[in-house]
Amino acid sequence: MRKLLIATRNKGKIPEIKAKLDGLDFEFVSLEDVEAIPDDFDVEETGKTFEENAILKARAYGDMSGLLTLAEDSGLCIDALDGRPGVHTARYGSKNNVEKNKQLLEELKSIPEEERGASYVSAGAIYDPGSGRLETFEGIYRGRIANEPMGDNGFGQDPIFFNAEKNRTNAQMSLEEKNAVSHRGKMLDRAREILLRGFS
């Protein structure tokens, strides 16, 4: 069975990725499982787009490990903030997500509900260091920013990202519910198709 490296340091993302790719004929390994990758090594996200950052990570970790590698970059783009924090989501304000969410809500405090639209964007890349083959794909998830954090599930900005159709935030959904509608879920549906078609 071929190994597939899930190249993320974000422990919240790994269960979502594994759940979406469950049943594929791959052995999933994490960065911590690969001796060739130091524990303190991170790829500098210098790309101007989510896709560029996903490619940077897939190539760097794939070349270091020699393994087929899946990498992802994602973030929150808020309409009223001209698309911020965007590709800088992970580095925007505090590293602590509770504080980061407080900051975003403070920036939006005077914005009415109908103007609080936002998109979660997830770009993925699968890279095979043996052949040099690279595939990229994307998922976009529309919603709005809630007036206050709600829910205890998920991670990141899930407590403040409100899905009007479900009438709750991402953090109020189960993993299965969130994966069915989220940006990462959509991105991973494409990854699954690509892995089934060509990398197995």
Q: Mind listing the pLDDT tens digit for each residue in 139-174?
A: 999 999 999 999 999 899 999 999 999 999 999 999
Instruction: Provide the residue range defining the domain that includes 165.
Output: 2-199
73 is catalytic: yes
Q: What share of the chain is helix, strand, coil (3-state, %, to 5)?
A: 40, 25, 35
Tell me the two tokens of residue 194.
Answer: 């690509």
Which pLDDT score, from 0 to 100, does residue 146 have?
Answer: 97
- Cβ neighbourhood burial of 190 (10 Å; 0-12, 13-18, 19+): middle
Which pLDDT score, from 0 to 100, does residue 63 have?
Answer: 97
Q: How confident is the model at residue 190 (pLDDT cuts 50, 70, 90)?
A: very high
Spatial separation of the C-alpha atoms in residues 45 and 30, rounded to whole Å: 19
Residue in the structure block whose two tokens are 């970059």: 73
Which pLDDT score, from 0 to 100, does residue 10 have?
Answer: 87
Domain count of the chain? 1
Which pLDDT score, from 0 to 100, does residue 53 have?
Answer: 97
State pLDDT tens for residues 56-113: 999 999 999 999 999 999 999 999 999 999 999 988 988 899 999 999 999 999 999 9
Name the residue among 116, 115, 92 with its Cα closest to residue 169.
116
State pLDDT tens for residues 33-60: 999 999 889 999 999 999 999 999 999 9
Which pLDDT score, from 0 to 100, does residue 11 have?
Answer: 85
Q: Give the SS3 label for residue 105.
A: helix
Q: How confident is the model at residue 16 (pLDDT cuts 50, 70, 90)?
A: confident
In this predicted structure, the answer to whether residue 186 has a pLDDT above a threshold of 60 is yes
* Per-chain mean pLDDT for the chain: 94
CATH code where residue 178 lies: 3.90.950.10
In this predicted structure, the answer to whether residue 200 has a pLDDT above a threshold of 70 is no
Cα distances from 98 to residues 91, 152, 155, 175, in angstroms, run 14, 11, 10, 20
Catalytic residue among 40, 73, 82, 152: 73
Q: Exposed e or buried b for every residue in 7-17, given b needs 16+ CB within 10 A?
A: bbeeeebeebb
